[in-house]
Structure 1
Amino acid sequence: MADDTLLETYQAHRTLLFGVAYRMLGRVTDAEDVLQEAWPRWSARDRGEVRDPRAYLVRIVTRLALDRMREQAARRETYVGPWLPEPLPTDSLAPTPAPEGADRAVLADTVSFAVLVMMESLSPLERAVFVLREAFGVGYPEIAEALGRDQPAVRQLAARARRHMAERRPRYTVDPRDQRELAERFLAAALDGDVGALLESLAADVTLVGDSGGQAKAPRRVIVGADKVSRFLAGVGVKESEGLVARFAVFNGCPAVYAHTPRGPLGAFLLDVVDGRVQRVYVVTNPDKLAHLPR
């Protein structure tokens, strides 16, 4: 196969491969690194041995991502404070087109911040199977080959992962327009330091989780309760008001507030909305996790 054809095939599947790697790793930078590592393995392979380029590329990326997940586990032992995924910008709250074999709604759901956080409690193999099967509709034979496991073992991993996620994932439908209106009210109240207005947008048992990696301002412990969360957010809005630019954004398919100063990104505030109230606030201020975001 000519080099141009190799590249065309690789590029044709790049969105799929990035989607697999990002959902497994929760980091844009790590997912991009995996794709860069996958290219030489793909380009060096004897094409006569590859019957299904898509399946072969997915297998390469899955194995590389599993290796990187093990590296992540070692790094997190010394990570300062809670660990959150890297925010991924999306153009709208509507799901992106699904690759062949994937369910469009599930594809969007598995990239949501709340679901990515829940997937952190899965084992690496469970997470790989859940992503490949639930998000992308990959068949059990392909998954078994990618993981080097037999099909019964893969089916057990899939059942365990589905059960684990179903027990923790709330079922609800939120109108995207309502999400945006709530996020804009939240943004205005936070910038004004208006505790009363913030309380109106927060659920009584709201939680706030911050990820700074010890490199920026963010709470190192989870904040629980509308009163404490609203006061924390109001304080941030007042303290960081000088030179602050904050706007509505959509990260991981959910409403968010993206803030930056002339010096660079300040933070991403992702809102998990349940029944018209903010149930969880995810605050990412670690500069390493914001470097890929637009200025």
Structure 2
Amino acid sequence: MTSRDMVIGIAFLIQTVTGILANIVLLFHYLFLYFTGYKFRPSDLIAEHLNVANTLIMLSKGISQTVQAFGIQYFSPGNRCSFVLYIYRVARGVSVSATCLLSVFQTIKISPINSIWQDLKVKLSKRIGFFTFLSWILHILVNCIFPFYSVMKYSSKNITKRKYFAHCFSGSQDKTAELLYAAFVLFPEVSFSGLMIWSSGSMIFILHRHKQQVQHIRRTNESHKSSPVSRATQNVLVLVCTFVSFYTLSSFFYVCSINLNVPSWWLINTSDLISTLFPTVSPFVLMSCNSTAARLWFRLLNVFRSR
């Protein structure tokens, strides 16, 4: 193993361990609330599904790319690689849709009383559970396209046109299948990203207008105090901006990879690192507005430090 492989392997290991631990801490927090009879708010329910999806991303792609970075032969020909890719794509799709749903819901939630969204606010709150469940079902079904893709290891001989994607080689694919994949997977992700950008702009505008109105009716020393709704909205904004930034970078590197017959080493590994940055960072953003989960995380860190 060369020094550059060791460096990238350590980077993958740190990212994967941090992401898995943070997501599991947050997941245990939600489970504890559930078993203690806590009544989840709609935004909590969305964040819970986002956390589950991000945990699956780190357990599938995070672990696989880490062991591959250290040169460990992890994949058997075709089957295991296809399964890991399938889990990753389903979890990624749910993560995208959950982040979009959270941003749109928060935008509608903070909209003024005389807004056109008021009727939708009550209806959407009652149907959050249905939308999150539907998201899982749709992505499980849509991503069944993966078994129809020929995914093989580097040592495979029966490849006429192959491209390297860190863990697997993919052979030449049917154009119809590629078009269906773009229509049912890529187009929704781009559309959700557009909705997130719109909702982020709307939240910024609503918060700015609210701040201007408050300044006229409150004293100066009180006008700077953020309400719980404002803090929650700011956290959602940070979460959405983080997602859009990492998703744009990840998409850029992915497009570069698929347009090269043999992508360079740094391009492949940089793309993999960026693709799992959001599920690594997002639990910390969610913890920032949840003191109980944050305390649980710091206790876990203290346990590791004491050892």
TM-score by length of 1: 0.30
Higher RCO, Cα 8 Å, sep 6+ = 2
TM-score by length of 2: 0.29
The structure richer in helix per residue is 2
The structure richer in strand per residue is 1
